[in-house]
Amino acid sequence: MISDIAPFALILSILVCLWALSSANKPHIGKLPYPPGPTPSFIWGNRNDLSAPRVWVRYAKWANEQHLVLADLQQEDNHSQFVGRCSRVTRTTVESVATSLRVYGPEWRKHRRIFQQGFKSDSCLEYRPVQTKKMHDMLYGLLRTPDDFKSHVYTYTGAIVLSVMAGYNVVPNNDPYVKLAESLLEAFRAAPMAKWKINMFPILRYIPSWLPGAGFKRYANLIKGQLAQQREFLFKSATAPSVEVEGERTPVVADLLPGCSSDSDVRMLLEAAGSAYTAGTGTTASSILVFFVAMASFPEIQKKAQEEVDRVTGGQRLPEYDDRAHLPYTEAIIREVLRWRPLFPLGLPHASMEDDVYSGYYIPKGSIIYPNVWAMTRDPVKYKDPEIFNPDRFLTETGELIDDEVTYAFGFGRRICPGRHLSSASIWLSAAAILSAFDVERKKDESGCYIPLDVKYVDKGITSHPLSFQCTILPRSEKAVQLILERHAED
Ligand code: HEM
């Protein structure tokens, strides 16, 4: 995948963590220098440099000032050892919350194989009927209660993952699985992991959980209990007699369960299923919400896309997957959504598995590697006026799509997002359907004037996604209403 986006220049911000620096007395490969970086504090090293809001902007600036290593994406091909994850916290506490947090090793490989089987691009074609059904539900929700659009979008993305994984049918409000998974995610988000002393002093893993300073252990126990409930839920759903629906693909868990030869295999499978929900719901939903932001902010772009969709459907039906190849401008909008507001501006950090050399610098084993995805999206050579939302940048003069599929938004190398095909299909279908059926607009004040869109983004840690905003969602025509009601009744 990395070579896919070559020769696109990458700024790889390599931050060598304190524990790696503490190995300074070990012999360096050929006595090479560490990569340059900001001066660490005596006690905490560069820890505070990692936790500023919109820290990716700061890293990009440092990269320009040559504080950090500047590299080219092609070079990272040689660095297959950058596949680990920062391990200390995760190994002792939370790694079973998510495949993405697992350290590189046999268990991660098992998880990865499950995702590979369930979510490779061919398998994803078989999920189209489920995605279409869930899209119809979402349109119906948007028609009935448009102000709850955020909730409808989350229900759509969560319902797809759970149906595909475990044959579970999400109910629109207060779904018990969604409640459980969300409380798990909330606990995960709220945990001050970066501040836990165990990151620096692994020996703390042996202290009793009641001691002051052992918050990470109490947290781990809480998470473990919730994870067990989650696994039970998914198991019940995937083994329910109703799970096989004629003409539809068997859910991933039900499909792979007979091949499990031990309790540990079953546990792995259920963990991967839970992980798919955690990794795939909020991410895909956030991209769709950025699409709403873009459509409400740039009505002329929305209109052009609606005209494209209408040309293909004749305004007489909702879009289908077979239309995708005929809607390049809609596709370009989705690429621009992923580029304009990347959800992981610093990707998910990788870690080096061995001592390594990169561009003449010594990278000790265990270093945390942040690809500065945000800097890639702001490369003025590749993307002229990068702050401007402009789908045309992905089209040739004759209206064909260029090769850049913004795959870097989904990560790199062996740890690239395995859900990217499913997610891309879900985002595309929702965008095309919304364009065909609704106008997304800014709210108006009492005198009928549009109010500027006030979008709050969560810009903390390593993610950036829209938190809250308001917009008006109106059906485009009587025909659109009729189509939504008909499809909903049929399903
Ligand atoms: C717009 C939607 C999505 C975005 C932007 C996204 C982005 C990412 C990124 C940046 C990574 C880290 C890759 C790396 O380490 O280099 C990742 C990992 C992952 N994603 Fe996604 N993702 C999305 C949707 C999904 C979906 C729908 C699923 C599952 C159904 C999923 C499952 C995973 C898993 C399991 C990992 C961990 C992979 C590993 O560590 O080996 N993601 N994703």
15 C-alpha to ligand 1 centroid (Å): 22
User: Does 374 contact ligand 1 (Cβ within 6 A)?
Assistant: no
Q: How much of the chain exceeds pLDDT 90, in percent? A: 52
User: Does 415 contact ligand 1 (Cβ within 6 A)?
Assistant: yes
User: Does 97 contact ligand 1 (Cβ within 6 A)?
Assistant: no
Instruction: Give the pLDDT band (50/70/90) at residue 85.
Output: low
Once rounded to an integer, what is the mean pLDDT over residues 92-111? 71
pLDDT at 356 over 90: no
Write down the H helix ranges in 120-214: 121-125, 128-144, 149-166, 176-190
User: Which DSSP state fits 416?
Assistant: S
Ligand 1, atom 18: nearest CA belongs to which residue?
417
Position with higher pLDDT, 360 vs 22: 360
pLDDT at 15 over 80: no
pLDDT at 403 over 60: yes
The mean pLDDT value of the chain amounts to 83
User: Does 343 contact ligand 1 (Cβ within 6 A)?
Assistant: yes
pLDDT tens figures, 291-314: 999 999 999 999 999 999 999 999
Once rounded to an integer, what is the mean pLDDT over residues 32-58? 76
User: Which DSSP state fits 453?
Assistant: P
For residue 115, the ligand 1 atom closest to its alpha carbon is: 35
Instruction: Give the pLDDT band (50/70/90) at residue 86.
Output: low
Q: Which residues pair with 227 in a beta bridge?
A: none
Once rounded to an integer, what is the mean pLDDT over residues 212-224? 78
User: Does 286 contact ligand 1 (Cβ within 6 A)?
Assistant: no
pLDDT of residue 56: 83
Which residues does the annotation place in the binding site for heme?
Answer: 417
For residue 287, the ligand 1 atom closest to its alpha carbon is: 1
Number of Cβ within 10 Å of residue 203's Cβ equals: 7
pLDDT of residue 294: 98
User: Does 143 contact ligand 1 (Cβ within 6 A)?
Assistant: no
Half-sphere exposure of 183 (CA within 13 A, CB side): 15
pLDDT at 76 over 50: no
For residue 373, the ligand 1 atom closest to its alpha carbon is: 10
Which string of b and e fits 347-368 if b means at least 16 CB within 10 Å? bbbbbbbebbebeebbbbebbb
User: Does 114 contact ligand 1 (Cβ within 6 A)?
Assistant: no
101 C-alpha to ligand 1 centroid (Å): 11
Position with higher pLDDT, 325 vs 32: 325
pLDDT tens figures, 425-463: 999 999 999 999 999 999 999 999 999 998 988 876 678
For residue 98, the ligand 1 atom closest to its alpha carbon is: 35
pLDDT of residue 60: 81
pLDDT of residue 96: 52
Number of Cβ within 10 Å of residue 66's Cβ equals: 9
pLDDT of residue 75: 38
Once rounded to an integer, what is the mean pLDDT over residues 221-250? 82
Instruction: Give the pLDDT band (50/70/90) at residue 98.
Output: low
**CA atoms of 104 and 347, how far apart (whole Å):** 17
**CA atoms of 113 and 96, how far apart (whole Å):** 16
Once rounded to an integer, what is the mean pLDDT over residues 133-148? 96
Q: For a ligand 1 pocket test, name from 161, 410, 430, 464 the mutation site with the most ligand atoms within 8 angstroms of its C-beta.
A: 410
pLDDT of residue 265: 93
User: Does 283 contact ligand 1 (Cβ within 6 A)?
Assistant: yes
Task: Return left, alpha or beta for 113; rule: phi > 0 is left, psi -120 to 50 is alpha, else beta.
Answer: alpha
Q: Which residues pair with 361 in a beta bridge?
A: 358
Domain spans, the chain: 2-490
Ligand 1, atom 1: nearest CA belongs to which residue?
284
Which residue matches tokens 């198991």?
A: 235
Contacts of 338 (CB under 8 A, 6+ apart): 287, 406, 409
Ligand 1, atom 17: nearest CA belongs to which residue?
417
| Angle formed by the axes of helices 176-190 and 149-166, nearest 10° | 100
User: Does 164 contact ligand 1 (Cβ within 6 A)?
Assistant: no
Ligand 1, atom 24: nearest CA belongs to which residue?
280
Contacts of 224 (CB under 8 A, 6+ apart): 96
**CA atoms of 202 and 88, how far apart (whole Å):** 7
pLDDT of residue 69: 41
Instruction: Give the pLDDT band (50/70/90) at residue 13.
Output: very low
pLDDT at 374 over 80: yes
**CA atoms of 338 and 11, how far apart (whole Å):** 18
> What does the radius of gyration of the chain's CA atoms come to, in whole angstroms?
23
Ligand 1, atom 37: nearest CA belongs to which residue?
100
Once rounded to an integer, what is the mean pLDDT over residues 56-70? 67
**CA atoms of 324 and 320, how far apart (whole Å):** 7
On whether the CB atoms of residues 348 and 100 are closer than 8 A, the answer is yes
Lowest mean pLDDT among 277-286, 312-321, 366-375, 429-438: 366-375
User: Does 339 contact ligand 1 (Cβ within 6 A)?
Assistant: no
User: Does 6 contact ligand 1 (Cβ within 6 A)?
Assistant: no
On whether the CB atoms of residues 310 and 449 are closer than 8 A, the answer is no
User: Does 281 contact ligand 1 (Cβ within 6 A)?
Assistant: no
For residue 342, the ligand 1 atom closest to its alpha carbon is: 5
56 C-alpha to ligand 1 centroid (Å): 19
Position with higher pLDDT, 249 vs 440: 440
Q: For a ligand 1 pocket test, name from 90, 417, 426 the mutation site with the most ligand atoms within 8 angstroms of its C-beta.
A: 417
Q: Which among 234-248, 349-363, 444-458 has the top mean pLDDT? A: 444-458
Ligand 1, atom 19: nearest CA belongs to which residue?
417
The three-state secondary structure class of 355 is coil
pLDDT of residue 19: 38
Indicate the class that CATH gives domain 2-490.
mainly alpha
Ligand 1, atom 7: nearest CA belongs to which residue?
410
Lowest mean pLDDT among 28-32, 414-418, 487-491: 28-32
Once rounded to an integer, what is the mean pLDDT over residues 273-287? 93
Lowest mean pLDDT among 87-96, 347-356, 408-417: 87-96
The per-residue DSSP string of 299-315 comes to: HHHHHHHHHHHHHHHTT
Lowest mean pLDDT among 86-95, 166-175, 269-278, 347-356: 86-95
**CA atoms of 464 and 56, how far apart (whole Å):** 10
The per-residue DSSP string of 21-40 comes to: HTTTTSPPGGGPPPPP-PPP
Instruction: Give the pLDDT band (50/70/90) at residue 491.
Output: confident
284 C-alpha to ligand 1 centroid (Å): 10
pLDDT at 127 over 60: yes
Ligand 1, atom 8: nearest CA belongs to which residue?
410
On whether the CB atoms of residues 299 and 293 are closer than 8 A, the answer is no
pLDDT at 92 over 60: no
pLDDT of residue 5: 36
